[in-house]
Amino acid sequence: MINEFKRLLAINLPVNQSAFLWGPRKTGKTTLLRAQFPQSIFIDFLKTDLFFEYTKSPFLLRERLLAKEEQAAKHPVIIDEVQKVPQVLDEVHWLIENQGINFILCGSSARKLKRGQANLLGGRAWRFELFPLISKEIENLDLLRALNHGLIPVHYQQNTYQRSLRGYVQDYLKEEVLATTQISLIRPQTENTRPPRALWVPFELGRPLGAPNDAAFQTKVLRAALALLERTDGPIILDDFPEDAPASGKAENDEGWFCPINLPPPPADLEAGGGFKAAIEAEVGGLTTWYDIALRERGRTTMGLSGMTISEITNFVCAFLDGQVPDNPRQGQSLGQSLKFAVEDLKAFYREAAGAQPGQNTGREMNDWFYGGTAAGKAMYALWPIANDLAKRTDDGFMKTFANLLLIPASQKFRAEEKEA
């Protein structure tokens, strides 16, 4: 399709001269280079195997080109989509300087290379640009078609062009123009998805801006997230917000929420043999009726991640507290993931049971009750160093993340510090 147009750009390079070829996507850069340099070595980073190879080991470029030195010396080596693997530019620089090999480096985003502080070869490469079609390249130019379809070659030729044009604009704006940032409540998830910029905040789930009705604090969070747009040390930026959310304000006559369920106070010697298990079982017995009421009224529950009953969850969690390493109850996931799901289910059971009581409560008040007033909450503090130690011994990365970021909210970690003091 694109071959039907004769592009006027000619890349004529003298001996020992390299070049960059930049241009929007789908303008025909690759087709042009293959037509003008049919005997060149062609490296295309759109191929996933090459992309992963050179991302991991950019020195492979030097080794492979030196193995084909005769061919590489006769014709410029072409690297397509070079912005995808900016690490190879240091190797390109070395090969230009020390071996006299010339390159044509092709890509759609010089901005990405500049933002990532890549080696742009310091003037050793000329700059060429390939734009969409111009009138001299189109025989019998249809002006109305050009205005409606645009002059990207494939779009100009398509009869049903609207969806292609819409997708092109959306992708181009997202990848090449718009700088984006986000606020993250779950750091491991953000590390896996790798957005361009993200601010991790140590707040409760559902409250990415921290305390409700606190405009000053929420503004501070938003400013920190937007400030990431000014950063150039990417391409991936994940920053941590340094403050915990302040406690929610209350009206003068509001005495605050308290759980009216009469749970027995946690024994002082919980860490003695079997102490946690007996205390948690007693609490679960007192909460079960209220959990059932909450389930009946709401018709749903957030329990169920672990696939275990509340009794099985208690036994599984308390096994760690008794110095055991229990069998993983679920295949296909790490022990750290199974422990996280069990703990989340345990917390959900307590919170839903307490939430069935009349009156409003903030998430902070519920956390204060759970971590400060229940045996299950105190078990979380005892579990913290145990999970950390197990992560080191088993090299379970998820267990480490769970122990340090997900087990205890940042707003409740002061209790562990007070205990150590």
Residue located via tokens 């030195």: 69
| pTM tops 0.85 | no
The whole-number average pLDDT for the span 8-33 is: 90
Specify burial of residue 159 (Cβ count, 10 A radius: 0-12, 13-18, 19+).
Answer: exposed
The whole-number average pLDDT for the span 245-258 is: 51
Q: Which amino acid belongs to residue 202?
A: P
**What is the per-residue pLDDT across 85-118, written as a single tens digit (0 to 9) for each?**
888 999 999 999 898 899 999 988 766 666 555 6
- Per-residue pLDDT band at 252 (split at 50, 70, 90): very low
Residue 174 has pLDDT above 80, yes or no: no
Q: How far apart are CA 408 and CA 367, in angstroms?
A: 10
Where does the chain hold its CATH 3.40.50.300 domain(s)? 2-131
The whole-number average pLDDT for the span 390-403 is: 81
Cis peptide, bond prior to residue 14, ω within 30 of zero: no
Q: Which residues of 1-35 are buried (b: 16+ CB within 10 A; e: fewer)?
A: ebeebebebeeebeeeebbbbbbbebbbbbbbbee
Among 341, 319, 314, residue whose Cα is nearest residue 330: 341
User: Under CATH, which architecture does the 2-131 domain have?
Assistant: 3-Layer(aba) Sandwich (3.40)
- Per-residue pLDDT band at 273 (split at 50, 70, 90): low
